[in-house]
Amino acid sequence: MRIAFLGLGVMGFPMAGHLAAKGHQVTVYNRTASKAQSWVDQHGGTSAPTPAQAARDADMVCSCVGNDDDLRAVLTGPDGAFEGAPAGCVFVDHTTASADVARELGTIAAGRGFAFLDAPVSGGEAGAQKGVLTIMCGGDEAVFQRAEPVLACYARAVTRIGGAGSGQLAKMVNQIAIAGLLQGLSEAIAFGERAGLDMPLVLDVISKGAAGSWQLENRGPTMVQDKFDFGFAVDWMRKDLGLCLDEARRNGATLPVTALVDQFYADLQQMGGGRDDTSSLIRRLRGTRSA
């Protein structure tokens, strides 16, 4: 297929690379043009100076940018992809954004003869590089069926959750679960360290029982080592938790733990750790700053 990929950050760069590796004709756009050129140098394909030009003649347009405003800019702005894409084009947005903007853009897309899926991802930078992301989709079933084989190029699980916006809502559920789990893991490790335990040994033991989780197995050891220069940044988690808390205010959900952990992440930002991995929550308990 002819695919335009908009946004070449830590996630989008390898995701677009997997599409090229699978034989798709990929045109990329990035706000910083040098990164787009770097992608072309590494993966082939072509780059375009605007989203509209990237989307010209595309069968599918994938986007993976920072937030709601960034997404509106690359899709509906004066040089946005909606201005250049042909009728019948399928738009798949991987940005973690609000459910409201997903519904808004889905409506605009339909009015212009396009199809639209909100399709946020989970799995982090490592998942993107390895092509094993989990993708949660919102939109029409028929559109999902068209997009699924393409999304499988960089995902191990692609699931339609429901109608427009439901992919974003599912991603919020994911982030709420992770935030609480990481705070609990941080407290557990800090407690064990204070007690003088061999924490690598303890983590290995409890990973085989009811406390086992992906976070414990993959982040527990690096938390013990005080290593956080990788993964999903605190700044991005704060953005995501803000979306969760905004949505909770609208739907009446109560998120006391999430609200508290969000403030803990604010503390880490104040400590200079905004770019550290989300597992750096333990640094609050240790009283250590980002390196």
Name residue 129's amino acid. Answer: Q
Tokens 């991987």 -> residue: 94
Q: In terms of DSSP H, where are the helices of the chain? A: 12-21, 33-43, 51-55, 68-76, 81-84, 99-111, 124-130, 141-151, 166-194, 199-206, 214-224, 234-251, 256-270, 282-286
Catalytic residue among 22, 35, 130, 171: 171
Task: Give the C-alpha separation, 140 to 165, whole Å.
Answer: 11
Instruction: Determine whether 171 is an active site residue.
Output: yes
* Pick from 148, 77, 89, 150: nearest CA to 116: 89
Backbone angles phi and psi of 263, in degrees to 5:
-70, -30
Tokens 């909100």 -> residue: 118
- Active centre residues (catalytic): 171
